[in-house]
Chains A and B, each alone.
Chain A
Amino acid sequence: MIQIEYFLIVAAVMMFAGIFGFLTRRSTLAILLSIELMLNATDINFAVFNRLMYPAGHEGYFFSLFSIAISAAESAIAIAIMINIYRQMKDISIDKLQKLKW
């Protein structure tokens, strides 16, 4: 059986890849993808903790399910806002989101 550490390492790598992407990508859609990567890393964490450490209950699985659903709702709203920006600026790069600052 695969040790729990390997799963957690995969999740941690995904998490930090997501954070790195969030900080470095210039397109808002790529930023959104990075955030999905972070959310999926947490889902893996929940499922793994539930399966390998506390197999008696299903709390972790349910948490992953809910978090998948909620992150889908969030992406829907985020993309709607980006379409709105695109309609007015014809560009969704975050370099263009600079009208409001300091």
Chain B
Amino acid sequence: MDYSQFLYMREELSLLLVILILFVADLFMCPDKKSGKGVYNTALPVVLMSVLTIVNLLPCCGAQACEAFGGMYQYAPMMTIVKSVLNIGVILVFLMAHGWLSRPENKVKQGEFYIVTLFTLLGMYFMISSGHFLMFFIGLELASVPMCALIAFDKYRYESAEAGAKYILLALFSSALLLYGISFIYGGTGSLYFSQIGALLSGNSLLSLLGLTLFLAGMGFKISLVPFHLWTADTYEGAPTVVTSYLSVVSKGSAAFVLFTVLIKVFSVGQLFTDWNIGLFWIIIASITIANLFALRQKNLKRFMAFSAISQAGYLVLGAMGGTAQGMTAMVFYLLVYLVANFGAFAVINVVEQNSGKLGIADYNNLYQTNPKLAFLMTLCLFSLAGIPPFAGFFSKFFIFMAAFNAGFRLLVFIALVNTIISLYYYLLIVKAMYISPNDQPIPTFRSDNYSRAALIICLLGVVLLGIAGWVYNYIDTLSYGLDTIL
């Protein structure tokens, strides 16, 4: 066996190294018994993840598209970009988690939080780079099983456990359906390699259609698209806020990218191509519209963000329509912009929750008076999520619409545009609450910790600058691939 092919997996292996370092550090850096102060601070994992991201992005070791282990592991330069975007998300999660993890009940569990989070990230890495359904399935489960542990992380809070139970039962159900679909694909073709299945699947056999449908259902659960979204609001509300933000961006984004690559690699022969386009067409319309309508009536900010995230996932998957290279660029860029905007909003929600324990939208009334900077940052992030021009969200939405329009889905783009206007209404409701609505007892003025501030500043810079910095989009564009331009 040629051991040098392990080098193709350098991103996964270096992440594993980070996990091992943190694991050993956790042994020696447990909280001080006398003062009870967490010695194991946030800096170490954040620095390690930043180093990992920079090393991955260095152009000197930029590899070509390649395969390892007989095609079970496939690599394309685009995957480095996606993995780095996910890394940025994880760094922001760690920064935001500082205040929450230094609480007395969580102090002893700091190391666990970092390691379990990084294991889900490792699963997403494998899922992104998989070239075989077994690798794909193991990656998917490695991403979702530790996630349940993260959701139920607040051991003494009932909501957290209930959210975890709801997530894991539905995750198991959807992965069983997904497996049933994969078994029929195997029965129809006799292979599980993406590269071989593409050629072997006869376009209009019932087995392959069954496989495709169940695959879409399984991935739809992970991305929380509409017919499979019922867990989302409950889980987002019950989970710790930091984990909610992780679920809503990183887990969702990786699954959307995998959906795109598997659809173009495996399910794009003959009639099947039309089939999945029709399926996604209705799923996207349902996701965007229904999530928007439900978001209008929410009173709890985390539930509100859950429905907003479902609707944003609809826009994200819009990039997959037609399976074009332009769509992939738009999807990855959208993911990056959505990441900074959503993490910005969640960082504000998180610091407010840590300092005052309030989560209702009505509690935010007149936040501007007491915490003007937080209110302003929240406004920018919500504007970016809604897609108002000077901010990055406008450009990412524009690119997504352009990609879908060029792929020939004009009706879909029109419906999505109409929904953007609806979404503007409910995002502005929160802005109105913060600036205009009177409140006798607004949330008192507080100082957030420095790590949260760092996260807030990164998000602010991202929201403002990503739209203007055109080279980001161009750089992603040079690496993207699709049905029209196979690498």
Contact = CB atoms under 8 A, between A and B. Distances in A.
B206 interface: no
Interface string B161-178: 111111011011101110
Given A38-B173, A78-B165, A101-B234, A46 B186 contact: yes
A41 B180 contact: yes
B164 A67 contact: no
6 contacts: A31-B169, A38-B173, A39-B176, A42-B183, A63-B192, A102-B233
B244 to A, nearest CB: 12
Given A70-B138, A99-B158, A100-B163, A77 B149 contact: yes
A74 to B, nearest CB: 6
B168 A99 contact: no
Interface in A51-72: 53-54, 57, 59-60, 62-63, 66-67, 70-71
Nearest to B162: A97
A82 B162 CA distance: 9
B133, B134, B148, B169: which has the most chain A beta carbons within 10 Å? B169
Contacts of B148: 77-78, 81
Given A49-B186, A71-B172, A78-B148, 17 more contacts: A31-B169, A32-B172, A35-B169, A35-B172, A42-B179, A42-B182, A49-B187, A50-B186, A59-B134, A66-B137, A70-B138, A74-B145, A77-B148, A78-B165, A81-B161, A82-B165, A84-B155
Nearest to B154: A84
Contacts of B155: 84
A66 to B, nearest CB: 6
A74 B162 contact: no
A46 B184 CA distance: 8
Interface string B309-352: 00000000000000000000000000000000000000000000
A88 B190 contact: no
A18, A32, A84: which has the most chain B beta carbons within 10 Å? A84
Contacts of B67: none
Nearest to A22: B173
A81 B233 CA distance: 19
A97 B165 contact: yes
A35 B169 CA distance: 8
B238 A100 contact: yes
Nearest to A70: B141
Nearest to B236: A100
A17 interface: no
B404 interface: no
Interface of B: 133-134, 137-138, 141, 145, 148-149, 152, 155, 158-159, 161-166, 168-169, 171-173, 175-177, 179-180, 182-184, 186-187, 190-192, 233-234, 237-238
B152 A81 contact: yes
A40 B163 CA distance: 26
B168 A74 contact: yes
Majority-rule SS of B interface residues: helix
A-B interface, 10 closest residue pairs, ranked by CB to CB distance from nearest: A45-B183, A38-B176, A54-B190, A42-B179, A100-B234, A49-B187, A84-B161, A81-B164, A35-B172, A78-B168
A35 B173 contact: yes
A29 to B, nearest CB: 11
A52 B175 CA distance: 25
A62 B180 contact: no
B176 A97 contact: no
Contacts of A101: 234
Nearest to B187: A49
A55 B266 CA distance: 23
B145 A32 contact: no
Interface string A73-91: 1100110111011001100
B169 to A, nearest CB: 6
A74 B172 CA distance: 7
Given A22-B173, A45-B187, A67-B179, A88 B168 contact: no
A42 B169 contact: no
B162 A59 contact: no
B428 to A, nearest CB: 23
B171, B172, B176, B190: which has the most chain A beta carbons within 10 Å? B176
B168 A81 contact: yes
A73 B168 CA distance: 12
A49 B188 CA distance: 9
A59 B133 CA distance: 10
Contacts of A82: 165
Nearest to B300: A100
Contacts of B172: 32, 35, 39, 71, 74, 78
Nearest to A31: B169
Contacts of A71: 172
A32 B187 contact: no
A15 B180 contact: yes
Contacts of B192: 59, 63
A46 B183 contact: yes
Given A59-B192, A84-B152, A28 B169 contact: yes
A39 to B, nearest CB: 5
